Structure 1
Amino acid sequence: MTIINQILEIKTEQGINIHNITPQIQDVINSTSIQNGQVLVFSRHTTTALAINENEERLLEDIKVFLRKLAPESDKYLHNDLHLRIVPEDEPMNAHSHLMAMMLSTSEVIPIVDGKLALGTWQSILFFELDGPRQRTVFVQISGE
């Protein structure tokens, strides 16, 4: 069995933004000889997440509204008491972003069949930035034959 590791870089924008990374993941698969196996996609940050869902503009806006209702930025959070913690000078008050990330997932595993992601018709791999703007990385591990 072959195992290939790669890092994707994603430059994000202010606030919550959702990126369809399906094409980049398929490009990584295409760069290998693996035809059947699986790909692990792993978010490497505590204020980002991954999900498989439909990449439809209005749904993505609904998701953002839903996440903001779950963890409103304006609520009081102990994590935001920056004066009580040792933090860098540019540390943001981002407890809400950590809480949103916990409601999603840090990883997804997708089968590879005949060199292609075995996603359903409307499924896409979505990367969630919950505390942008930032430069982010996603770890991709492909294993198979």
Structure 2
Amino acid sequence: MPILNKFLEIETEPGITICNVTPHIEQLLATTSIHNGQVLIFSRHTTTALAINENEERLLEDIKVYLRKLVPESDRYLHNDLHLRDVPDDEPMNAHSHLMAMTLSTSEVIPVVDGKLALGTWQSVLFFDLDGPRKRTLFVQISGERESEF
């Protein structure tokens, strides 16, 4: 069973960015000969996350509001006591971003059937940067059987 490792680079906006990465994953899958298997998407940062949900503009705004209510940036967090930590000069006060990320997930696994992602009608793979703007990297691992292996 072949296993292919790929990377996606994403540039994000300030604050919370939610990107639909489904088309990027579909493009990576299309470059392979995997017919049935799975795609693992893994976020390589502590202030980012992944989720499968509907990519609808108003829902995405609702999600941002929900996350900000759940973990307000203005609350007091020990992680933000930068003067008590050994950090680079440009270190942001981002404890809220770490906590938001913990409420979501760092990875998603999606079945591949007949060479296509087996997502439901309204499902998309959403990437969350909770501490942008930044250049982020997603690890994508595609594994499974090639069509000729049947």
TM-score by length of 2: 0.96
Structure 1 residues 1-145: aligned runs within 5 Å: 1-145=1-145
Structure-2 separation of matches of 1:33 and 1:109? 18
Counterparts of 1:124 and 1:117, CA distance in 2: 10
Looking at structure 2, the residues matched to 86 and 70 of structure 1 have their Cα atoms a distance apart, in angstroms, of 28
Query: Does the residue aligned with 2:34 lie in a helix, a strand or coil?
Result: coil
**Number of residue equivalences:** 145
> How far does the alpha carbon of each residue in 1:48-70 deviate from its partner, in whole angstroms, 9 at most, with x for none?
00000000000000000000001
Unaligned runs of 5+ in 2: 146-150
Q: Which runs of no fewer than 5 residues in structure 1 stay unpaired?
A: none
AA in 2 matched with 1:84: L
In structure 1, how many angstroms separate the alpha carbons of the residues matched to 2:59 and 2:11?
A: 22
Indicate the SS of the match to 2:55: coil
TM-score, normalised by the number of residues in structure 1: 1.00
What percent of counterpart residues are identical? 80
How many Å apart are 1:2 and its aligned residue?
0.5
Amino acid aligned to 2:115: G
Q: Which residue identity does 1:76 align to in structure 2?
A: R
Return the offset for 1:39.
0.3
* Alpha-carbon shift at residue 127 of structure 1 (Å): 0.1
